[in-house]
Each structure stands twice: as structure tokens, then as C-alpha cells.
Structure 1
Amino acid sequence: MIKVMATTVGETGADFLAFTMNLGLDITSYIMGGLLLIALLNQFRLKCYVPLSYWLVVVLISIVGTLITDRLVDNFGVSLVTTNIVFILGLLAVFVFWYFSEKTLAMHSINTVKRELFYWVAILFTFALGTSTGDYLAETSGLDYAQSALVFGSTIAIITIGYYYFKMNAVLAFWSAYILTRPFGASIGDLLSQPTKNGGFGYGTIGTSMLFISIIISLVIYLSFKQKKRI
């Protein structure tokens, strides 16, 4: 739930800063990139899973991943077909190097700085790829926001069924679902934030971002208390 909402915040948050606040894609990218670097440095110094630190990085990397795709398409004129190909090849390259280096891609095996570095680079590519894929589908398929969300949500549901009932490989299921949550969350974000004339609910980027950030904070606080009780 937090991951889906983080992807939504990545979509609406980037739009809010770049367009609503008129910071532009370049300045927004520099600001969010700097914040992400600080959050990552803090994350790498930790020796165990800390919900607040981990999910802060996820939210920030979601925004940065969105901005990377938006800048390539809007500022440099790169087509969405090209960005999809580049990000797919980039993600595959990360997985290949990661596997040949560590012999595993399992999330629960991330217990060294090197593996965590591979993990976050892969996450960045999944967000950029998810943004590119979602935008491509929205612009070429003729589907509205609700239909796009249904397509991606149904695909995630199929993966879930495959894992629980047909013994789908756990690592493949995890990363497939992780990639798809990005366009799924983006579609939900667009559905809630876009004007009604464009097929959305008209809540705006501010309202949608604040709603989901509030829910994310509440869930992270819950996870933090739950972790302390286990300790």
C-alpha cells in the first residue's frame, strides 16, 4: 500500500513542484536529487531496516525517477518508445551485474552496502521505466486514467495469483509487481488529480499529494511502532 501511494506522490509531487509551483523540471530535479542523496547517505549508514528512513528514500526516488523521464521527454525531445527501451535495457543490465556479482536478486538478501547499492539503482530504473510505460500507454492506447489503473492493477493481481497458487518464482514476482506499481500508482494519481474535463476527479496535485503523504506517514508510524514491539 505504501509503495503504490509513494508512486502516486512521485507523479503528483513532481507535477506540483515543477508546474504548480513553477519551479520547472530542471530546478525541481536538482532540489529533489539533492534531498535523495542526503536520504540515501543516511540509509546506507543504518545497519537494519528503519521504516522512516527506507520509505523516505522510496518517496524521493519515486519523484526523481518521474523527473528523469519527464526531462528526457519534455526537455530533450526523447520519444517514450526510446525511453522505454533505454530503461528496460538499463534495468536488465543492473540485474545482470547484480546477479553475477552476488548470485541473488532476492530483496531479503540485501545485507551489504554493495547489494543495497544495486537495489536502489534498480529501484530508480523501475520508477523511471514505470513512468515511461504509463505515459506511453496513456498517450497511445486511448485508455482513460481509470482504465489504465485497471489494466496495471489486474496485471499485478495476476502476478499475485501466479505466486500464491502456481508457484511463480518469488524474485520474479516481486520485481514484476514492483515495476508495475509505478504506472499503477501514477494512473491513480492522475485519476484523482486531473480536472474532470480530462477524465479525472479534479482533486488537484496539492490535494492528492497531501492525502497520500498523510496516509504514508500514518502507515510508517504504525510500522515503526510495530518494529519496536518486535524488538
Structure 2
Amino acid sequence: MQLNLASRKRRLVALIIDYYVITFLLVSIIFLLLGPNFIEREDDFPFLLAIISIPLGLILYFGKDSVNGISFGKWIMGIVVRKESSSVESPSLINLFVRNITLLIWPLEFIVIVFNKNKQRHGDKIAKTIVYKNPNKTKKIPRILSVIGLGIIFFAFILSFVASSLKTSNAYKLAITEIENNKEINQQVGEIIDYGWMPTGNVNITNGEGIATYDINVIGDKEEMNVQVELIKPKDGKWKITSFNY
């Protein structure tokens, strides 16, 4: 069966999609291992995890085409990697892995594709592969919905993790304690029901010293109120409130 070569545009878009998908996967793994309280960790685990993540990310990226010569990006763009000697056979896992190592110099690889008649980059030449349009590609709507769904999952995960990180910090817990013990706030809002899904603000800790700012939405059975809290943390000390406004 004669297959058409994949266009350069499709290959570039597939590469970009794969990059973001693998980055999202790697970041998700790192965040889950760190836990929501990673902001206030003072051990070397975050640093060690960052070092370990580099080879893990490379393994994921180099092995992205391992499922029948198709990565997520290639599936979205309807293209597939096949043997140079046979357009119906998927290359071996080793060849699929090896062909992606040269993507470390991907700008040069795409220059090579421009001038190669079979649109082969160095990785393809080394692994003896060619990228074709997939004759058995999935219909367009499921592929589009997959991209949209992945984007929604990505942003939902990041927002949920950030919210969880802010809420589990000792600075936030101290701010909530101050709010719950403030008689004026309780009289105005009534019984406190919730503090909203995600507080705005930030926590910054360097060498054991920290600064935190929060804008907390206090939801009561009478009304809602925004409370602005600023805190500092001396080295080897506990968080202290420096400003409390409502």
C-alpha cells in the first residue's frame, strides 16, 4: 500500500503537542510526589526530585512513539512512524527510541526535513524510519475533543494543586485561626461556612525566611467579606501576622 508522506506542518504540530503532554505528565508526577505542603519543605527532597525528573522526562520523550509508532501528538495529527523498508510495519521499540534522541537538536532536525526529499530528519535516517499520513487515523471530532479535554484536565489540575498548596501552608492556617477568633468578623458575617475554593496570594520561603500574603474570602451565613492578611516567618521561627485588614 502506497502511503503519503506526513507534511512538515503536521510533524511540527505533533511535536509541540507531545512536548506539552509529556511536560504536563512530568509536572503532575513531581507535584504529586512533593505533596501540597512542598512550599514549606526545608529538606533537599525538592532539589533531588528536580534532578531525578530530568532523565525521567527524557525517557518519556524519547519513548513517546512506542505504541505502534504513534505518540499522542501524532495520533492527534493523523500521522505514523513506519519502517523505511516497509510502510506497513512499525519500527522496533529501540529504533523508535533512538530516532527521538536527535530531537535534542530539533531546530536543526527541521532544517534537515526541509531539504530531504522523504522529509526525513537525522533521527529517521539513523533509525531507518519514515513518517507517513496514517490511513487508519481516528475521525477528527474525537481527536479535537481529546485536545480540549486534555487542556481542561491540565488547568484543573494546576489550579487544584495551587489551591491545595496555599491552604495547607502554616501561614494560611494561622490566618484562618485569626479570622475565626476575630469577634468583629464573626458578628458581621455570622457563622462562618467556608473560605472559598481558592485564596489569592502567595507564599515565598527562602533559606528558612518567609513572606506570605493572602486575600481570603470569608463566607458566612449573613454575608461575605474579604480579609487581607500579611505574614512573615523568621529563620527557624514560626509565622507571625504583620497586617490584618477587612
User: Shorter-chain TM-score category?
Assistant: under 0.3
Question: Which has the larger share of helix?
Answer: 1
Computing the radius of gyration from Cα coordinates, the structure with the larger value is 2
| Bigger relative contact order (CA 8 A; separation at least 6) | 1
Calculate the TM-score normalised by the size of structure 2.
0.25
Calculate the TM-score normalised by the size of structure 1.
0.26
